[in-house]
Amino acid sequence: MDNKVTQKKSLLHSDAAQKLLAFGSLIILFIVFSLASPNFAKFDNIVGILLATAVNGILALGVTFVIITGGIDLSIGTGMTFAAVMTAVFITNWKLPIIIGVVGGILMGGLCGFINGIIISKMKVPPFVATLGMMMATKGLSLVISGTKPIYFNDTPAYRQIAMGSISGIPNAVLIFFVAAIIANIILTRTILGRYDFALGSNEEATRLSGINVDAWKTAIYTLCGLFFGLAGVLMASRLNSAQPALGQGYEMDAIAAAVIGGTSLSGGEGTILGTVIGAFIMSVLTNGLRILSVPQEWQIVVTGTIVVMAVYLDIIRRR
């Protein structure tokens, strides 16, 4: 009988409860801002929020995979910028077709992720340090390659359509984010990559002793994260119609925060894509709502920081 009681309790404390909590917070934020300002719930503003979520959301999707292994990737923000700069180099400087530039940009992200993975799994450098190094390296490389100046896509107006074109009022960037999220969810829940992702974060040594090539899978996961920030870079460049080499630092923290708010455990083994998507929305609704209420930007950051800590604290209470 005791057994059943425990099971019921754990059901209450399950992922479902986590999602409900995060989703509930999102709804409450939405209602509060709608009541506080008539401009908040307008179609244009909602589209703005969705658009703002796309880039950060895609970064968060990638880093969710890494955090589930118990690792971290600090290079996603500047890695994104590096991918954007490379895309601009391919398309504007080298006059390559747009599609090659886009695929090339995504692959450059993947390459950064792959190098992260090799350094972490083969050279045994802790993820924090390895990706901190990659963060600095990609930041520097973006500045070097671009000559510290933005590269514009003025000769290829079609490039801007990748993110800013729209289907029935919804910008492509948003649709791409949703498709990316669906793919990420399939990878995480239905494929062996996803299974080993959780296995690594749950007990890496046991995974290794089960005969699984831990180094290869870990490298694959960091590479996947790289492909996601490569995609984010392509969208970012498209949205701004330019690659801005000085941008990017700080984005990694917003993305990590989104994943954590969504219930991804920094100690590994736990996390969902839906949670991360909701987490990303909470971040952008908060930023947008506070701006509409004319809260100064400096204070917006303070509030966001507080919310991140509160969200994780709520999660800790829930687990007791």
The binding site for another protein (CB under 8 A) comprises: 2, 5-7, 10, 190-195, 198-199, 201-203, 205-212, 269-270
**162: Cβ–Cβ under 8 A, 6 or more apart, which residues?**
98, 102, 172, 173, 234, 235, 238
User: In the bound complex, what is the minimum distance in angstroms from residue 25's beta carbon to another protein?
Assistant: 24
- CB-nearer residue toward another protein: 267 or 297: 267
- CB-nearer residue toward another protein: 161 or 213: 213
Query: What distances in angstroms separate CA 145 from CA 3, 70, 115, 134, one per listed residue?
Result: 62, 33, 19, 16
User: In the bound complex, what is the minimum distance in angstroms from residue 197's beta carbon to another protein?
Assistant: 11
- CB-nearer residue toward another protein: 195 or 291: 195
3-state secondary structure of 127: helix
State how far the Cα of 82 lies from the Cα of 140, in Å rounded to an integer. 9
User: In the bound complex, what is the minimum distance in angstroms from residue 132's beta carbon to another protein?
Assistant: 23
User: In the bound complex, what is the minimum distance in angstroms from residue 167's beta carbon to another protein?
Assistant: 29
- CB-nearer residue toward another protein: 93 or 191: 191
User: In the bound complex, what is the minimum distance in angstroms from residue 99's beta carbon to another protein?
Assistant: 24
State how far the Cα of 222 lies from the Cα of 66, in Å rounded to an integer. 6
User: In the bound complex, what is the minimum distance in angstroms from residue 190's beta carbon to another protein?
Assistant: 6
- CB-nearer residue toward another protein: 93 or 210: 210
Q: Which two tokens stand for residue 20?
A: 């409900």
Asked if residue 101 lies in contact with residue 160, where contact means CB atoms within 8 angstroms, the answer is: no
- CB-nearer residue toward another protein: 101 or 201: 201
State how far the Cα of 196 lies from the Cα of 217, in Å rounded to an integer. 7
State how far the Cα of 23 lies from the Cα of 159, in Å rounded to an integer. 34
Q: What is the CA radius of gyration of the chain?
A: 20
Asked if residue 33 lies in contact with residue 289, where contact means CB atoms within 8 angstroms, the answer is: yes
- CB-nearer residue toward another protein: 55 or 224: 224
Q: Which two tokens stand for residue 73?
A: 């990737």
User: In the bound complex, what is the minimum distance in angstroms from residue 189's beta carbon to another protein?
Assistant: 8
Asked if residue 88 lies in contact with residue 202, where contact means CB atoms within 8 angstroms, the answer is: no
Please choose, from the candidates 235, 184, 157, 147, the residue with its C-alpha nearest in 3D space to the C-alpha of residue 68: 184
